Chains A and B, each alone.
Chain A
Amino acid sequence: MPSQLNVDTLVAANGTDPVTLTKQAATKAFANMNGTGTIAFRDSLNASSLTDHSAGIYTTSWTNSFADTEYATTTATNLDQAYAGDMCIVTQATGSLKHKTYYGASHAGTDASINCHTNFGDLA
């Protein structure tokens, strides 16, 4: 018979350390943001605010910082237009991620309506 445990908070046996998820890892932050007009998150986890630097270049600030700058970030945008577009990392800091959405051979920054990123690593 399957067992079911009802619990609100999981911690390690010592009462403070994080629990280990067997052979799994949860993402620590993700975002789906609108980069056109007034930039805004559509949905996010552990993301507190957005900074608009210039066309296509934004900083997502984390609510809870990462332990270091070695976290893994993956991205995607909806720039499937006549000219190649992509979304890349500019800089990773423990408290934020600066990213750029660009298109064409010149890699000019451009505002896209959908910009997504996910981030895996250790939180502070």
Chain B
Amino acid sequence: MASILKVDELRGIVSAGDITVTSEGGSATMQLQQGMAKAWVQYNHSSNVVNGSFNTTSMTDVSTGVMEQNFSSSMADGDYAAVGIRRSYQFAQHNSDVVQTGKFKGYTYYVSGTSGQTTAQDSTYTHILIHGDLA
């Protein structure tokens, strides 16, 4: 019979932020906290509405195609991994800004020229996922 542990909060003993779990195949262990997504959002940029989110206080509509995801709890540094996708077209990390611990800036666009030229565009469905260390 499977056992279920019901608890509201888990902390490590040696280090509060370090709990080890075993892999599905049983041959490896890894830190539980590192595998957890630290923030995500599904954002309607066209109407500036957050459909769903985690660790995200708000989205800032910077300009056409450019948005900022503002974190509730900041990341430890600017080295976190951020990936995203939008419906039909392209998503990129915003190239002209330094990555900040308190927010992430993304950019959506479509290919508007035969040589691959781009034009910024708001998307009705933009998805962003953040992994890394929280402060």
A interface residues with partner B (beta carbon < 8 Å):
2-13, 16-19, 24, 26-28, 30-32, 42-46, 63-65, 67, 74-86, 103-106, 114, 116-118, 122-124
Which A residues touch B27, using CB under 8 A? Answer: 64, 123-124
Q: How far is the CA of A99 from the CA of B22 in the complex (A)?
A: 27
| Complex contacts, A8 vs chain B, CB 8 Å | 12-14, 18-20
Inter-chain contact A79/B131, CB cutoff 8 Å: no
B85 at the interface (CB under 8 A from A): yes
Q: Are A80 and B95 in touch, CB under 8 angstroms?
A: yes
Judging by beta carbons under 8 Å apart, are B19 and A10 in contact?
yes
Enumerate chain A residues within 8 angstroms of B36, measured Cβ to Cβ: 24, 26-27
Cα distance, A57 to B93, chains bound together (Å): 19
Q: Chain B 1-40 against A: per-residue CB contact (8 Å), 1 yes, 0 no?
A: 0110111111111100011111111111111101111000
Expressed in whole angstroms, the Cα–Cα distance for A36 and B94 within the complex equals 17
Are B85 and A74 closer than 8 Å at their CB atoms? yes
- Please report which residues of chain B, range 49-104, place their CB below 8 angstroms from some CB of chain A when the two chains form the complex: 77, 79-85, 90-96, 99
Give B117 Cβ to nearest chain A Cβ, in Å.
6
- Taken together as a complex, chains A and B put the C-alpha atoms of A18 and B29 apart, in Å, by 9
Per the CB 8 Å criterion, the residue count for chain B at the interface is 59
B5, B77, B114: the one contacting A5 at CB < 8 Å is: B5
CB neighbours (8 Å) of A84 from chain B are 90, 109, 111, 116-118
Known: A42-B79, A104-B115, A117-B81. A4 touches B7 (CB 8 A): yes
Across-interface contacts of A43 in B (CB, < 8 A): 77, 79-81, 132-133
Provide the B109-128 mask, 1 if CB < 8 A to any CB of A, else 0: 10100111110000000000
Contacts A17-B22, A27-B131, A118-B83; A3 near B9 (Cβ below 8 A):
yes
Set of chain B residues within 8 Å of A27, measured between Cβ atoms: 35-37, 131
* Beta-carbon contact of B9 and A124 below 8 Å: no
> Is the CB–CB distance between B129 and A18 below 8 Å?
no
Cα-based distance from A81 to B117 in the complex (angstroms): 8
For the complex, give the distance between the alpha carbons of A88 and B49 in Å. 29
Whether the pair A45, B117 counts as a contact (CB closer than 8 A) is no
Contact status A83-B80, CB under 8 Å: no
Residues B116 and A104 in contact, CB atoms below 8 Å apart: yes
Q: With a CB–CB cut-off of 8 A, which chain A residues contact B95?
A: 78-81
